[in-house]
Chain A
Amino acid sequence: MRSVAKQQTNGKIERLSAEELAELLVPATAKTPEEKRAALKRATTGLRVKVRVTRDMYRPR
Protein backbone atom coordinates (compact mmCIF):
# COMPACT_ATOMS: atom_id res chain seq x y z
CA MET A 1 0.00 0.00 0.00
CA ARG A 2 1.29 3.42 -0.84
CA SER A 3 2.32 5.56 2.11
CA VAL A 4 -0.31 8.21 2.72
CA ALA A 5 1.68 10.39 5.06
CA LYS A 6 5.24 11.57 5.17
CA GLN A 7 7.47 11.50 8.19
CA GLN A 8 8.96 14.58 9.75
CA THR A 9 12.71 14.46 9.21
CA ASN A 10 15.38 16.61 10.86
CA GLY A 11 12.83 19.10 12.13
CA LYS A 12 11.58 19.84 8.61
CA ILE A 13 8.17 18.92 7.28
CA GLU A 14 8.60 16.70 4.25
CA ARG A 15 6.91 17.85 1.05
CA LEU A 16 4.78 15.76 -1.25
CA SER A 17 6.68 14.73 -4.35
CA ALA A 18 6.18 16.39 -7.73
CA GLU A 19 4.41 13.23 -8.93
CA GLU A 20 2.05 13.24 -5.96
CA LEU A 21 1.25 16.93 -6.50
CA ALA A 22 0.67 16.34 -10.22
CA GLU A 23 -1.85 13.63 -9.30
CA LEU A 24 -3.73 16.04 -7.05
CA LEU A 25 -3.75 19.01 -9.41
CA VAL A 26 -7.13 20.17 -10.70
CA PRO A 27 -6.49 22.45 -13.71
CA ALA A 28 -8.38 25.69 -14.14
CA THR A 29 -11.57 25.34 -16.17
CA ALA A 30 -12.06 29.06 -16.75
CA LYS A 31 -9.28 29.85 -19.21
CA THR A 32 -9.86 33.17 -20.92
CA PRO A 33 -9.69 36.52 -19.10
CA GLU A 34 -13.43 36.96 -19.67
CA GLU A 35 -14.23 33.53 -18.22
CA LYS A 36 -11.99 34.23 -15.24
CA ARG A 37 -13.60 37.59 -14.54
CA ALA A 38 -17.07 36.06 -14.82
CA ALA A 39 -16.13 33.24 -12.43
CA LEU A 40 -14.74 35.69 -9.90
CA LYS A 41 -17.90 37.77 -10.12
CA ARG A 42 -20.06 34.67 -9.57
CA ALA A 43 -17.91 33.70 -6.59
CA THR A 44 -17.78 37.01 -4.80
CA THR A 45 -21.09 38.78 -5.41
CA GLY A 46 -24.60 38.35 -4.11
CA LEU A 47 -24.15 36.06 -1.12
CA ARG A 48 -25.49 38.09 1.77
CA VAL A 49 -26.40 36.82 5.23
CA LYS A 50 -27.95 38.44 8.30
CA VAL A 51 -25.23 37.54 10.76
CA ARG A 52 -21.52 38.11 10.99
CA VAL A 53 -19.49 34.93 10.54
CA THR A 54 -16.84 34.41 13.18
CA ARG A 55 -14.11 31.80 13.39
CA ASP A 56 -15.88 29.81 16.10
CA MET A 57 -18.72 29.09 13.65
CA TYR A 58 -16.54 26.74 11.59
CA ARG A 59 -13.46 25.87 13.62
CA PRO A 60 -12.98 24.98 17.26
CA ARG A 61 -10.05 26.65 18.99
Chain B
Amino acid sequence: MSVTGGRRPTLTRGVFAIEQEQLALPDPLALDTSFVVEALLATQPLHATCSAFLARIVESGVAVVTSDLLAVELAETAFAIALKEHWGGRWRGHRIDGRSRRPGTRLLNHTVTRYDALLSPVNHLPIPVRRVTVQARALMTGYGLASYDAVHAASAIAADAKAIVTLDTGFALLPSAQLAIYTDRSRLASCRNKRPH
Protein backbone atom coordinates (compact mmCIF):
# COMPACT_ATOMS: atom_id res chain seq x y z
CA MET B 1 0.00 0.00 0.00
CA SER B 2 1.28 3.48 -0.81
CA VAL B 3 1.71 5.71 2.21
CA THR B 4 1.68 8.78 0.03
CA GLY B 5 -2.00 8.32 -0.71
CA GLY B 6 -1.39 9.39 -4.31
CA ARG B 7 0.30 12.67 -3.36
CA ARG B 8 3.60 13.64 -4.95
CA PRO B 9 6.43 12.45 -2.69
CA THR B 10 8.57 15.37 -3.86
CA LEU B 11 6.29 17.74 -1.97
CA THR B 12 5.94 15.70 1.19
CA ARG B 13 9.43 14.12 1.19
CA GLY B 14 7.76 11.13 2.79
CA VAL B 15 6.84 13.05 5.95
CA PHE B 16 3.19 13.14 7.00
CA ALA B 17 1.15 14.62 9.84
CA ILE B 18 -0.57 12.19 12.19
CA GLU B 19 -3.32 14.79 12.69
CA GLN B 20 -4.31 14.29 9.04
CA GLU B 21 -7.51 12.22 9.07
CA GLN B 22 -7.03 10.81 5.54
CA LEU B 23 -3.51 9.56 6.28
CA ALA B 24 -3.20 5.94 5.13
CA LEU B 25 -1.84 3.48 7.68
CA PRO B 26 0.59 0.95 6.18
CA ASP B 27 0.65 -2.57 7.57
CA PRO B 28 2.86 -3.05 9.52
CA LEU B 29 3.55 0.35 11.07
CA ALA B 30 6.56 1.02 13.31
CA LEU B 31 6.38 2.99 16.57
CA ASP B 32 9.23 4.95 18.11
CA THR B 33 9.65 5.55 21.85
CA SER B 34 8.97 9.29 21.49
CA PHE B 35 5.44 8.56 20.24
CA VAL B 36 4.72 5.91 22.88
CA VAL B 37 5.91 8.15 25.74
CA GLU B 38 3.60 10.91 24.54
CA ALA B 39 0.64 8.52 24.18
CA LEU B 40 1.10 6.94 27.63
CA LEU B 41 1.77 10.04 29.73
CA ALA B 42 -1.31 12.21 30.13
CA THR B 43 0.80 15.22 31.13
CA GLN B 44 2.81 15.36 27.90
CA PRO B 45 1.99 18.25 25.53
CA LEU B 46 1.10 16.01 22.56
CA HIS B 47 -0.74 13.38 24.58
CA ALA B 48 -4.13 14.06 22.99
CA THR B 49 -2.71 13.95 19.45
CA CYS B 50 -0.72 10.77 20.03
CA SER B 51 -3.42 8.88 21.94
CA ALA B 52 -5.92 9.77 19.20
CA PHE B 53 -3.55 8.43 16.55
CA LEU B 54 -2.98 5.32 18.63
CA ALA B 55 -6.73 4.76 18.64
CA ARG B 56 -6.66 5.05 14.83
CA ILE B 57 -3.91 2.42 14.67
CA VAL B 58 -5.90 0.02 16.84
CA GLU B 59 -9.09 0.62 14.90
CA SER B 60 -7.35 0.06 11.55
CA GLY B 61 -6.08 -3.38 12.57
CA VAL B 62 -2.54 -2.87 11.25
CA ALA B 63 0.30 -4.69 12.98
CA VAL B 64 2.78 -2.69 15.06
CA VAL B 65 6.56 -3.02 14.87
CA THR B 66 8.78 -1.95 17.76
CA SER B 67 12.41 -2.44 18.62
CA ASP B 68 13.02 -4.23 21.92
CA LEU B 69 14.97 -1.10 22.74
CA LEU B 70 11.64 0.70 23.23
CA ALA B 71 10.84 -1.16 26.47
CA VAL B 72 14.30 -0.32 27.83
CA GLU B 73 13.89 3.34 26.92
CA LEU B 74 10.50 3.39 28.66
CA ALA B 75 12.16 2.04 31.82
CA GLU B 76 14.84 4.71 31.53
CA THR B 77 12.09 7.33 31.14
CA ALA B 78 10.38 6.17 34.35
CA PHE B 79 13.58 6.41 36.37
CA ALA B 80 14.53 9.76 34.84
CA ILE B 81 11.08 11.13 35.73
CA ALA B 82 11.43 9.99 39.33
CA LEU B 83 14.86 11.56 39.58
CA LYS B 84 13.76 14.80 37.93
CA GLU B 85 10.67 15.09 40.14
CA HIS B 86 12.86 14.77 43.23
CA TRP B 87 16.01 16.63 42.21
CA GLY B 88 14.87 19.03 39.49
CA GLY B 89 17.62 20.22 37.16
CA ARG B 90 20.28 18.38 39.18
CA TRP B 91 18.68 14.98 38.56
CA ARG B 92 21.49 13.53 36.47
CA GLY B 93 23.90 13.68 39.38
CA HIS B 94 21.62 11.57 41.59
CA ARG B 95 21.23 8.48 39.48
CA ILE B 96 22.65 6.14 42.10
CA ASP B 97 20.63 7.68 44.94
CA GLY B 98 18.60 4.84 46.45
CA ARG B 99 15.77 7.21 47.54
CA SER B 100 14.80 7.75 43.92
CA ARG B 101 14.80 4.08 43.04
CA ARG B 102 11.60 3.24 44.90
CA PRO B 103 9.45 5.89 43.18
CA GLY B 104 11.25 5.04 39.96
CA THR B 105 10.30 1.39 40.31
CA ARG B 106 6.69 2.30 41.10
CA LEU B 107 6.46 4.54 38.05
CA LEU B 108 8.17 1.90 35.95
CA ASN B 109 5.51 -0.65 36.95
CA HIS B 110 2.72 1.78 36.02
CA THR B 111 4.43 2.47 32.69
CA VAL B 112 4.97 -1.20 31.86
CA THR B 113 1.35 -2.03 32.71
CA ARG B 114 0.17 0.68 30.34
CA TYR B 115 2.60 -0.33 27.60
CA ASP B 116 1.30 -3.91 27.82
CA ALA B 117 -2.25 -2.56 27.58
CA LEU B 118 -1.23 -0.47 24.56
CA LEU B 119 0.07 -3.56 22.76
CA SER B 120 -2.76 -5.91 23.70
CA PRO B 121 -5.20 -4.81 20.95
CA VAL B 122 -2.63 -5.06 18.13
CA ASN B 123 -0.61 -7.75 16.43
CA HIS B 124 2.89 -6.89 17.61
CA LEU B 125 6.27 -7.52 16.00
CA PRO B 126 8.93 -6.90 18.67
CA ILE B 127 12.31 -6.91 16.92
CA PRO B 128 15.29 -7.99 19.03
CA VAL B 129 18.27 -5.64 18.78
CA ARG B 130 20.56 -8.55 17.87
CA ARG B 131 18.52 -9.14 14.71
CA VAL B 132 19.27 -5.68 13.30
CA THR B 133 22.76 -4.77 14.45
CA VAL B 134 24.22 -5.00 10.95
CA GLN B 135 21.34 -2.98 9.46
CA ALA B 136 21.67 -0.34 12.20
CA ARG B 137 25.36 0.05 11.48
CA ALA B 138 24.56 0.49 7.81
CA LEU B 139 22.10 3.29 8.61
CA MET B 140 24.65 5.00 10.87
CA THR B 141 27.44 4.91 8.33
CA GLY B 142 25.20 5.47 5.32
CA TYR B 143 23.04 8.33 6.56
CA GLY B 144 24.49 9.58 9.84
CA LEU B 145 21.72 8.33 12.11
CA ALA B 146 22.50 8.26 15.82
CA SER B 147 22.89 4.74 17.20
CA TYR B 148 19.55 4.40 19.00
CA ASP B 149 17.63 5.99 16.13
CA ALA B 150 19.42 3.60 13.79
CA VAL B 151 18.26 0.58 15.82
CA HIS B 152 14.62 1.74 15.73
CA ALA B 153 14.80 2.55 12.01
CA ALA B 154 16.56 -0.73 11.17
CA SER B 155 13.92 -2.67 13.12
CA ALA B 156 11.17 -0.94 11.14
CA ILE B 157 12.84 -1.58 7.79
CA ALA B 158 13.75 -5.18 8.61
CA ALA B 159 10.10 -5.89 9.46
CA ASP B 160 9.06 -4.26 6.17
CA ALA B 161 7.26 -1.37 7.85
CA LYS B 162 6.79 1.43 5.37
CA ALA B 163 6.52 4.15 8.01
CA ILE B 164 7.57 4.96 11.56
CA VAL B 165 5.52 7.07 13.97
CA THR B 166 7.88 9.38 15.80
CA LEU B 167 8.30 12.83 17.31
CA ASP B 168 12.05 12.65 16.75
CA THR B 169 13.27 14.57 13.71
CA GLY B 170 16.50 12.53 13.64
CA PHE B 171 14.76 9.83 11.58
CA ALA B 172 14.46 12.33 8.73
CA LEU B 173 18.13 11.75 7.93
CA LEU B 174 16.93 8.61 6.13
CA PRO B 175 15.93 8.95 2.48
CA SER B 176 12.17 8.88 1.99
CA ALA B 177 12.47 5.68 -0.05
CA GLN B 178 13.68 3.86 3.08
CA LEU B 179 10.99 4.88 5.55
CA ALA B 180 8.11 7.34 5.66
CA ILE B 181 7.87 9.48 8.77
CA TYR B 182 4.58 10.02 10.56
CA THR B 183 4.93 12.87 13.00
CA ASP B 184 2.97 15.72 14.49
CA ARG B 185 2.17 18.81 12.42
CA SER B 186 4.72 21.03 14.16
CA ARG B 187 7.62 18.82 13.04
CA LEU B 188 6.70 18.49 9.36
CA ALA B 189 8.87 21.33 8.07
CA SER B 190 11.86 20.37 10.18
CA CYS B 191 11.68 16.73 9.05
CA ARG B 192 11.22 17.67 5.40
CA ASN B 193 14.21 20.03 5.55
CA LYS B 194 16.38 17.27 6.99
CA ARG B 195 15.52 14.71 4.31
CA PRO B 196 18.53 14.00 2.09
CA HIS B 197 18.18 15.11 -1.56
Contacts and interface: CB of A to CB of B under 8 A. Distances in A.
The answer to whether A and B assemble together is yes
Interface of A: 4-8, 11, 13-16, 20-21, 24-30, 35-36, 39-40, 42-53, 55, 57-61
B120 A29 contact: yes
A13 B54 CA distance: 27
Contacts of A53: 37, 41, 44, 77, 80-81
B54 A44 contact: yes
B76 to A, nearest CB: 5
A5 B45 CA distance: 38
B131 A5 contact: yes
Contact of A21 (B115, B134, B149, B159): B159
Contacts of B178: 13
Interface in B87-137: 107, 110-111, 113-115, 117-128, 130-135
B114 A44 contact: yes
A57 B59 CA distance: 31
A16 to B, nearest CB: 5
The main secondary structure of chain A at its interface with chain B is loop
Contacts, number: 152
Nearest to A29: B120
A13 B80 contact: no
Interface of B: 33-34, 37, 39-45, 47, 51, 54-55, 58-59, 63, 73-74, 76-77, 80-81, 84-85, 107, 110-111, 113-115, 117-128, 130-135, 138-139, 142, 146, 148-149, 154, 157-160, 168, 170, 178
A51 B159 CA distance: 34
Contacts of A47: 40-42, 110-111, 114
Contact of A30 (B59, B120, B154): B120
Contacts of B55: 40
Contacts of B124: 25-26, 28
Contacts of B107: 49
A25 B139 CA distance: 24
Nearest to B110: A47
A53 B79 CA distance: 11
A36 to B, nearest CB: 4
Contacts of A51: 81, 84-85
